[in-house]
Amino acid sequence: MPMRLHREGTPTIALVSIFGVLASLAAWLWLPAAAFLAIALIMAAVLALVLWFFRLPRRASVPAEDLIVSPCDGKVVVVEQVHEDEHFKDKRIQVSIFMSPLNVHVNYHPISGTTTFRHYHPGKYLVAWHPKSSTHNERTTVVVRHPVHGEVLIRQIAGALARRICTYPQPGEAVVQGSELGFIKFGSRVDLYLPLDAQVMVHIGDVVQGAASVIARYAR
């Protein structure tokens, strides 16, 4: 099955492809054969990395009302109780997932419900695993309200390499667990803020898959 590419990658892929063709053509015209071959191989490798970054895997996610699934691919770097200051202004369980440049960078809705809040914050570009990245980096906060279990906050955080956060749902929009929430270009992180009575199913160091891995279970 051919690899699918995410629409957010179209401008970058086109730019890298054009630059690669021009650089290789210039090397072919004005440089020795060995130099041309080296440059052509480097350009091909760069294009392959960009295509790999913007890959869009097929995820068969079946919505489960009592589960909160991972909003992205990556490694769990934080599981702790914190005070969430932007929206809830009370204590929540924070689960943070770091995405390296080699991870799929699509973000998914962890629950089904209605989007109740969305806010973009410009900011710094600290490395995504830095504790202050949640409040100092460029980020977008989205809150989804489940009709039975209440709200979950999802925060997309830019990393040291990221310069663009894409977020799709608007306030008032109904969303489905496992559907696309957005995309973050290059290294980044996603934070989840869950109810205190949620049963967290992951630990620091666990590798998770967006729309597939279970992060937590609602209290019954």
Taking Cα atoms as reference points, which of 97, 88, 104, 89 lies closest to residue 68?
Answer: 97
Amino acid letter for position 5: L
- Please return the burial class of 28, using the count of CB atoms within 10 Å of its CB with bins 0-12, 13-18 and 19+: middle
Can you give the pTM of this predicted structure? 0.88
Name the band, by pLDDT with cuts 50, 70 and 90, for residue 191.
very high
Q: Any idea how long the chain is?
A: 220
* Distance of alpha carbon 10 from alpha carbon 54, whole angstroms: 9
Domain 67-217, CATH? 2.70.70.10
Q: Is 134 a catalytic residue?
A: no
CA dihedral 192, 177, 215, 157 (to 10 degrees): -30
pLDDT digits (tens, 9 = 90+) for 122-173: 866 565 555 555 666 788 999 999 999 999 999 998 865 656 789 999 999 9
Instruction: Please report how many Cα atoms fall inside a 13 Å half-sphere around the Cα of residue 66, on the Cβ side.
Output: 5
Is residue 113 scored above 90 in pLDDT?
yes
Give domain limits for the chain.
7-53, 67-217
Catalytic choice (70, 134, 188, 213): 188
Over residues 55-71, the mean pLDDT reads 87
Q: Quick check: 192 and 71 in contact, CB under 8 A?
A: yes
